[in-house]
């Protein structure tokens, strides 16, 4: 069984950081504890390790990551020989290996190393570490035939030196050559070869990296603007009309600092989205006056304007020598890299070949990885009504770069495009719809009026209602134009889910004679009596499912049983083995009263309807999750002490508990995830982070995968 993976190359410039990041992503999906080891390093801290540590929340001591620096290695090899060098590195590798389930080894970089036969050294280290090898061959700006030959030779070299070659990666090839190269290598190599095309956004430096390399002064711009990729350079020497025609999406405009016309004109073009630029770099140490800078800041808020003292020609020479690097400071590049690797590598087959020992635990990171992987496996279309919200746009960028799902954004189209341009976000082929001007508005008004005719809603009134982004998005889902909807980052829960209750369930919730909200008159899924919700509570070492913490104020025993059955199904759908705890202030037969009796009755109803489910109740929270307490209170229970699905007796208890655990235990709460609707609509907290939105959209896409039909591409 392979316990470590060694990613290496044959020369510099192969872009193997994409592969190293992709393999780390795969390993962390499988196991809880992944270590990193780089045998030789130019300097510490290492840029890639810092990215891995930040992204995957690694707790590994950085002192154990590196074997030695190249200078020390060269001196040791010259004085005492290669055997001594290898022996020392093997000892240091095992310091890491003994503490981790699997180790990712980052091979030498073939850059200014002064080590003879570096390929053989990597092969020997891999063998001594007991690691399987993934060699990476770079193909940027090389003829296809040369890259094909180099890939086959690299395989023979590592295989001939006794390495267990898991797969080959041919990276940074010309996009137009990619498919034919993959076909040829598939027939000529005995192991899989993943052919990855060159991606300009990865090799493009960010504006922040340019500012650091040139020692530039930042006159204007925020963090989002500085994170933009400079995909091209346009030098502003011409008159403004000519220059505007030369601008390209994502370009950095380089011009002398006294060209106020170029500064204002370029930013005005950016503001109009024709095209969005990365920013401006002003040379000669000249800075526009305050009035021009104030106008510039208003034209394109956040767009960076830099100043350097040098002249344009030497500045250009420096710019053309820069290349973008993956680092902890470039999270957007990391998303692009992962999306590229996951698209062109057969990750399912690769992880099978790695044979990393699977963890018995489902950690929050594993849960998040599985969400994205499962959503990506059968892409669905999710509509996001809050298309002008900054967090939603950032989440859309992550989802698009990772290839998680197709997206529709709602809102004034010009405003969405301008906001995306200001944030440096490329929305690609994302569908943008303004409900107020959409050709769908008339037909949606007729459909909504039909849904709500029993409430006296006319077509004229419905015409106004469906211009609301949440109603419009819900109707898109109902009519099969989208597979699911996520909203709530700037809307209340009621504003988000009321349209779903009215449209997807056909009729709104009624009120019983007691005044309590019930949902029995609405149409839930055929196997669900009511609509309810769960939160996925991502704790440090496990994921729990809490229900219902958002929808039903005081469910009766029948409804509580339905919530438990729905929640178990949702848990299982997302990889959490359901062991249900029906919570109460009493455990077993120790208490009595109406509240306890309700939970006891609900538990028996679940047992009668679903005898296959593991369930315990009534049970107190500590007895449900803590084995030592369970051993005292319910020693014979299959659920006590190890519950994964916790059902609260009412909304007051559930909502307060999830918030208390979220804040006091530092848990990540994903949800509320609605269950019981015919089609998925999910709500966000108004304080949702970008990662929360990404996770909720992935959950919605997975829920939609159970639907019989897929929304058509538009």
- Tell which CATH architecture fits domain 519-676: 3-Layer(aba) Sandwich (3.40)
What is the predicted pLDDT for the residue at 82?
Answer: 85
How many whole angstroms separate alpha carbon 424 and alpha carbon 302? 9
- Using the structure block, give the residue that is written with the tokens 């339905």: 562
Residue 268, phi then psi, degrees to nearest 5? -65, -40
Domains 205-321 and 519-676 belong to one CATH topology:
no
What is the predicted pLDDT for the residue at 528?
Answer: 53
What is the predicted pLDDT for the residue at 521?
Answer: 34
Q: Are 396 and 409 in contact (CB under 8 A)?
A: yes
What is the predicted pLDDT for the residue at 78?
Answer: 85
Give per-residue pLDDT as tens, 449-483: 988 888 888 888 989 999 999 999 999 999 999 99
Task: Name the average pLDDT for the chain.
Answer: 87
Q: Are 171 and 139 in contact (CB under 8 A)?
A: yes
How many whole angstroms separate alpha carbon 477 and alpha carbon 499? 11
The number of residues in the chain equals 714
- For the domain spanning 361-504, the CATH number is 3.40.50.10950
Domain definitions of the chain by residue range: 4-200+328-351, 205-321, 361-504, 519-676
Answer yes or no: is pLDDT of 207 > 90: yes
CA–CA distances in Å: residue 373 to residues 25, 197, 573, 574, 699: 11, 21, 13, 11, 11
Question: In the CATH hierarchy, which top-level class contains the domain 205-321?
Answer: alpha beta
Token code pair at residue 202: 């990865």
Range in 64-68, 315-319, 520-524 with the lowest mean pLDDT: 520-524
CA torsion sign, 533 to 480 to 476 to 442?
negative
Answer yes or no: is pLDDT of 541 > 80: no
- Is CATH 3.40.50.300 correct for 4-200+328-351? yes
- This model's pTM is above 0.85: no
Give per-residue pLDDT as tens, 16-47: 899 999 999 989 888 878 999 999 988 777 88
Give per-residue pLDDT as tens, 250-279: 899 999 998 999 999 999 988 887 788 999
Token code pair at residue 143: 């003829």
Answer yes or no: is pLDDT of 645 > 80: yes
- Provide mean pLDDT across the span 557-565: 93
What is the predicted pLDDT for the residue at 713?
Answer: 54
- Provide mean pLDDT across the span 660-672: 83
Nearest to 94 by CA among 75, 67, 68: 67
Distance from the first to the final alpha carbon of the chain? 46
Residue 600 exposed, middle or buried by CB count within 10 Å (0-12, 13-18, 19+): buried
What is the predicted pLDDT for the residue at 356?
Answer: 58
What is the predicted pLDDT for the residue at 456?
Answer: 86
Q: Are 643 and 580 in contact (CB under 8 A)?
A: yes
- Provide mean pLDDT across the span 504-524: 38
Give per-residue pLDDT as tens, 59-113: 898 889 999 888 888 888 888 888 888 899 999 998 898 889 899 999 987 766 6
């Amino acid at each position: 069984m392979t316990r470590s993976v060694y990613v290496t190359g044959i020369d510099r410039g192969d872009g193997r950081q994409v592969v190293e990041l992709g393999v780390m992503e795969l390993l962390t999906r499988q196991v809880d504890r992944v270590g990193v080891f780089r045998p030789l390093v130019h300097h510490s801290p290492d840029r890639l390790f810092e990215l891995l540590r930040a992204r995957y929340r690694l707790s590994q001591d950085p002192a154990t990551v590196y074997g030695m620096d190249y200078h020390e290695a060269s001196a040791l090899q010259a004085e005492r020989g290669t055997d001594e060098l290898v022996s020392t590195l093997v000892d240091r590798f095992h310091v890491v290996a003994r503490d981790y389930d699997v180790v990712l080894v980052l091979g030498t970089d073939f850059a200014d190393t002064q080590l003879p036969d570096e390929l053989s050294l990597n092969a020997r280290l891999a063998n001594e570490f007991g690691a399987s090898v993934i060699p990476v061959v770079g193909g940027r700006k090389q003829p296809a035939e040369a890259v094909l030959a180099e890939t086959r030779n690299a395989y023979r070299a590592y295989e001939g030196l006794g390495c267990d070659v898991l797969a080959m990666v041919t990276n940074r090839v010309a996009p137009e050559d990619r498919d034919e190269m993959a076909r040829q290598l598939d027939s000529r190599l005995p192991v899989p070869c993943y052919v990855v095309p060159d991606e300009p956004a990865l090799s493009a430096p960010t504006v922040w990296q340019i500012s650091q390399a040139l020692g530039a002064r930042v006159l204007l711009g925020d963090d989002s603007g500085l994170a933009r990729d400079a995909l091209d350079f346009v030098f502003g020497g011409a008159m403004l009309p000519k220059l505007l025609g030369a601008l390209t999406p994502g370009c950095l405009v380089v011009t002398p600092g006294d060209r106020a016309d170029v500064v204002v004109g370029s930013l005005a073009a950016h503001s109009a989205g024709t095209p969005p630029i990365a920013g401006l770099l002003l040379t000669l140490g000249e800075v526009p006056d305050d009035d021009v800078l104030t106008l510039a800041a208003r034209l394109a808020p956040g767009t960076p304007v830099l100043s350097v003292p040098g002249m344009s020609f030497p500045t250009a020479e420096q710019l053309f020598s820069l290349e973008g690097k993956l680092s902890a400071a470039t999270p957007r590049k990391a998303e692009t890299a992962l999306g590229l690797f996951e698209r062109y590598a057969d990750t399912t087959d690769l992880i099978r070949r790695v044979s990393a020992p699977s963890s018995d635990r489902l950690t929050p990171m594993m849960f998040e990885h599985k969400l994205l992987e499962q959503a990506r496996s059968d892409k669905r279309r999710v509509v996001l009504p809050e298309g002008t919200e900054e967090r939603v746009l950032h989440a859309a960028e992550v989802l698009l770069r990772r290839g998680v799902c197709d997206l529709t954004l709602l809102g004034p189209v010009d405003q969405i495009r301008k906001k995306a341009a200001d944030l440096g976000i490329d929305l690609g082929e994302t569908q943008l719809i303004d409900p107020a001007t959409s050709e769908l508005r008339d037909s949606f008004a007729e459909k909504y009026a039909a849904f709500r005719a029993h409430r006296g809603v006319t077509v004229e009134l419905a015409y106004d209602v469906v211009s609301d982004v949440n109603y419009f998005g819900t109707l898109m889902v109902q009519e099969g134009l989208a597979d699911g909807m996520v909203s709530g980052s700037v809307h209340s829960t009621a504003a988000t889910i009321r349209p779903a209750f009215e449209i997807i369930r056909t009729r709104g919730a009624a009120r019983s004679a007691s005044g309590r909200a019930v949902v029995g008159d609405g149409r839930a899924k055929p196997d669900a009596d009511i609509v309810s919700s769960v939160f996925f509570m991502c704790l440090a070492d496990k994921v729990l499912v809490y229900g219902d913490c958002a929808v039903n104020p005081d469910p009766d025993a029948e409804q509580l049983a339905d919530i438990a059955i729905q929640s178990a199904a949702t848990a299982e759908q997302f990889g959490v083995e359901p062991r249900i705890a029906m919570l109460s202030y009493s455990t077993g037969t120790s208490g009595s009263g109406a509240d306890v009796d309700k939970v006891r009755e609900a538990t028996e109803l679940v047992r009668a309807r679903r005898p296959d489910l593991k369930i315990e109740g009534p049970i107190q929270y500590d007895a449900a999750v803590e084995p030592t307490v369970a051993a005292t209170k319910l020693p014979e229970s299959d659920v006590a002490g190890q519950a994964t699905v916790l059902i609260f007796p009412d909304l007051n208890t559930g909502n307060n508990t999830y918030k208390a655990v979220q804040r006091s235990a530092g848990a990540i709460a994903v949800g509320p995830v609605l269950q019981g609707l015919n089609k998925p609509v999910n709500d966000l907290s108004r304080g949702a982070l970008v990662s929360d939105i990404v996770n909720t959209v992935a959950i919605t896409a997975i829920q939609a995968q159970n639907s019989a039909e897929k929304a058509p591409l538009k």
